[in-house]
Amino acid sequence: MEILVCVKRAPDTLENEITVNKDGTNIEQEDLVYSVNEWDNYAVEEAIQIRDKVGGSVTVVTVGDEDAEEVLRREMAMGADNGILISDKAFENSDGKGIASILKAEIEKGKYDLILTGAQADDGAGQIGGMLAAMLDLPYASLVNKIDSEDGKLTIGREIEGGAQEINEIELPCVLSIQTGINEPRYVGIRGIRKVASIEIPVRTASDLGLDTNAVGDAGAKVKKLDYFIPETGDGAEMLTGSQEEIADKLIELLKAKGGMK
Amino acid sequence: MNRQLFAYITHQNGVANDSAFELAAAAKKISADTSVTAIVTGKGEGLTKVCEQASSAFAKVWKIEDDAFAYPNAELIRALILKILPEKSVILLAHDTFGMDLGPGLSIKLNASFISDVVNIEGTDGDALKTVRQEYSGQVSTHISCDIADGAVINIRPGAFKPEEASIGGKIEDKSSEAAGIAAKRKYVKTIEAEVGDVDITKSEVLVSIGRGIEDEDNIEIAQELADAIGADVSCSRPIVDAKWLEKSRQVGTSGQTVKPKVYIALGISGSFQHLGGIKGSPFMVAVNKNANAPIFQVADIGITDDLLDFVPVLTEKIEKL
């Protein structure tokens, strides 16, 4: 099976507290640690497991600047066979539809049986998979937490409310957005990344893909981010202060009063 | 302005989801004087009841009954909506697991704009709709401007808009004939309900709940010891289940269990809306988190800015000595 996984570079929320920058134009970039979007990592792991079972190849693709290449290398160190970096100044400030049309142009240059995306990203809208599928006229399922492959079709599980799982059959080729928890993504060490350090990663520009630069990037975006701000907190919590001992004593009294202790 | 507004209503067992009435409230914020049409699909007696409920909040209800819609398969519903929606309409969906499945692709097929997970609507200026979204599990918010001249699909976060008491008495129109010939390459097979685990956290009165801040599987012991000391059960947020450190049956949230304890102690949990969506009945909530900006502090009663790995053992030891 030929599998394409769309990934992106995103701030690592485990490593960062996210705040707004001084003029509210972006999140504070200083000391920000980036990694591959968490959901995408599960998608790549799933792709690798399917390939190892039924054969074929896994290609990872991203739309981003030159820094995004490290994300592709990381996923190739996990076991993806190929990487493609789609990069062009004209793509900056694309909205979801813009990103999906850029990816579509690349996908149409190849032949893929299965296209995976992460279900969402911490800085995203959970929209690329569904948009891509519609643009390519392929069937789609979101929030996928199980994939079984058998001749020409897949049986998939979708995570729905209340911890339940919705089972569907879906024809190939198709697009699936992958939910976290579907598998346990393998660990990638420095050595793994070194091994793929010299592999050539092709870079595609707007003209390589035959894209009209008025339809993507800032020019083509109908959905625009105006600013960032810290939400109103309302009353918020009463914050306990003092030494750990003092805070613990206060909390014990509160828990006693509220029925939190047997 | 002749912009038509629609809302797709989801329902279960003959009862419209709360989100239905929240969509009506959200639509009012786009245009207070435009009447809104609810689209309701399904099969059987339940559908009729849901249409009646919807007619209290919507001026018009389009009822579409067909065997194909006995279960809401987003791929089929998309084909139906494409067929019946007038050009350049604005349609609202709930940003639940169904709306997430339907919204993005629908917007492409309608050649309309898409905004997901909207928590507030500030209004329109001509064709520009100004909304508020959150990023990074609610740590920061953004204003989004969206051009809705060619229509829009707007996914509304469940619980973000307050429904109004209404008795509009909208007209129910049967459009079931439109369902003919709708097909999709994805077929719904069945739903597997959540497994019940060794501890039923939906019945717990006191929960010690852990999130990413626990950092390592071995540290779960720290939470378990506190729970043992106060007679509580241990629950968790999604990343703990993703890491396979605890069973899915221990997960609190919209994709896990809905709990209603008297006291909820959140340790190292950031407080995403998906997690908070699983906590009902306004428990007394204590949050311990080393990130002072964690959204959990907006909803907790008591907050402690500290590393749970340092603080909780101190707390447990004191309780054990009581």
CATH number at residue A118: 3.40.50.620
CA-to-CA distance for B146 and B14, rounded, in angstroms?
35
pLDDT in tens, B251-286: 999 999 999 999 999 999 999 989 999 999 999 999
Backbone phi and psi for residue A96, each to the nearest 5 degrees, phi listed first: -55, -45
Long-range contacts of range A238-244, CB-CB < 8 Å, 24 or more positions apart? A238/B301, A238/B302, A238/B303, A239/B297, A239/B302, A239/B303, A239/B304, A239/B305, A240/B302, A240/B303, A240/B304, A244/B306, A244/B310, A244/B311, A244/B314
> Could you say which of A139, A161, A184 has the minimum Cβ distance to residue B254?
A161
> Could you say which of B97, B144, B150 has the minimum Cβ distance to residue A223?
B144
> Could you say which of B73, B116, B256 has the minimum Cβ distance to residue A126?
B116
Query: For chain A, what is the mean pLDDT?
Result: 95
> Could you say which of B145, B262, B318 has the minimum Cβ distance to residue A226?
B145
Domains delineated in chain B: 5-179 (3.40.50.620), 201-321 (3.40.50.1220)
pLDDT of residue A262: 76
pLDDT of residue B60: 97
Q: Which residue has the higher pLDDT, A41 or A262?
A: A41
pLDDT in tens, B84-101: 999 999 999 999 999 999
pLDDT of residue A14: 77
Q: What ipTM does this complex have?
A: 0.95
Q: How far apart are the first and last CA of chain A?
A: 57
Taking contacts as CB-CB distances below 8 angstroms, the residues of chain A near B303 are: 236-240
pLDDT of residue A233: 67
Torsional sign, CA B174, B178, B180, B184: negative
Interface test with A, best of B255, B290, B308, B317 (most A CBs within 10 A): B255
pLDDT in tens, A36-58: 999 999 999 999 999 999 999 99
CA-to-CA distance for B66 and B121, rounded, in angstroms?
34
Structural domain count of chain A: 1
Which range has the worst mean pLDDT, A70-74, A170-174, B163-167, B224-228? B163-167
In a domain, A133, yes or no: yes
pTM of the complete model beyond 0.90:
yes
In a domain, A239, yes or no: no
pLDDT in tens, A24-33: 999 999 989 9
Interface test with B, best of A137, A244, A252 (most B CBs within 10 A): A244
pLDDT in tens, A225-256: 999 998 776 678 999 999 999 999 999 999 99
Q: Are A130 and A178 in contact (CB under 8 A)?
A: no
> Which residue from B192, B182, B155, B6 is spatially nearest to B88, judged by alpha carbons?
B6
**How confident is the model over B17-27, as a mean pLDDT?**
97
Q: Which residue has the higher pLDDT, A171 or B166?
A: A171
Q: Do A162 and B256 make contact, defined as CB atoms within 8 angstroms? A: yes
CA-to-CA distance for B284 and B264, rounded, in angstroms?
6
Taking contacts as CB-CB distances below 8 angstroms, the residues of chain A near B319 are: 252, 261
Taking contacts as CB-CB distances below 8 angstroms, the residues of chain A near B243 are: 184
Shortest CA gap A200–chain B (Å)? 33
pLDDT of residue A150: 82
Taking contacts as CB-CB distances below 8 angstroms, the residues of chain B near A17 are: 139, 291, 293
pLDDT of residue A69: 96
Backbone phi and psi for residue B174, each to the nearest 5 degrees, phi listed first: -85, 115
Looking at chain B, the whole-number percentage of residues with pLDDT higher than 90 is: 93
Q: Do A128 and B104 make contact, defined as CB atoms within 8 angstroms? A: yes
Residue with tokens 């092709």: A202
Residue A4 has pLDDT above 70, yes or no: yes
Which stretches does DSSP call E strand in A127-179? 140-150, 153-159, 165-171, 174-178
Shortest CA gap B61–chain A (Å)? 26
Q: Do A143 and B100 make contact, defined as CB atoms within 8 angstroms? A: yes
> Which residue from B228, B268, B263, B229 is spatially nearest to B245, judged by alpha carbons?
B268
Strands A203-204, B15-16: pairing kind = unpaired
pLDDT of residue A231: 79
Residues 6+ positions from B35 with CB-CB distance below 8 Å: B5, B58, B59, B60
**How confident is the model over A64-74, as a mean pLDDT?**
96
Q: Do A252 and B212 make contact, defined as CB atoms within 8 angstroms? A: no
Residue ranges making up the domain that contains A125 = 2-220
In a domain, A89, yes or no: yes
Residue B1 has pLDDT above 60, yes or no: no
* pLDDT bracket for residue A187 (50, 70, 90): very high
CA-to-CA separations, A208 to A87, A94, B72, B286, in angstroms, rounded: 10, 18, 40, 55
> Could you say which of B137, B185, B242 has the minimum Cβ distance to residue A170?
B185
CA-to-CA distance for B222 and B267, rounded, in angstroms?
10
In a domain, A236, yes or no: no
CA-to-CA distance for B300 and A250, rounded, in angstroms?
16
CA-to-CA distance for B68 and B75, rounded, in angstroms?
11
Residue B163 has pLDDT above 90, yes or no: yes
Per-residue DSSP letters for A25-48?
SSB--TTPPEEE-HHHHHHHHHHH
Query: For chain B, what is the mean pLDDT?
Result: 95
Which tokens sit at B66? 């067909």
Interface test with B, best of A127, A232, A245 (most B CBs within 10 A): A127
> Which residue from B190, B225, B229 is spatially nearest to B210, judged by alpha carbons?
B225
Q: Which amino acid is at A128?
A: I
- The length of chain A is 262
In a domain, A262, yes or no: no
* pLDDT bracket for residue A17 (50, 70, 90): confident
> Could you say which of B73, B134, B150 has the minimum Cβ distance to residue A231?
B134
pLDDT of residue B197: 85
Residue B293 has pLDDT above 90, yes or no: no
CA-to-CA distance for B39 and B84, rounded, in angstroms?
10
pLDDT in tens, A71-90: 999 999 999 999 999 999 99
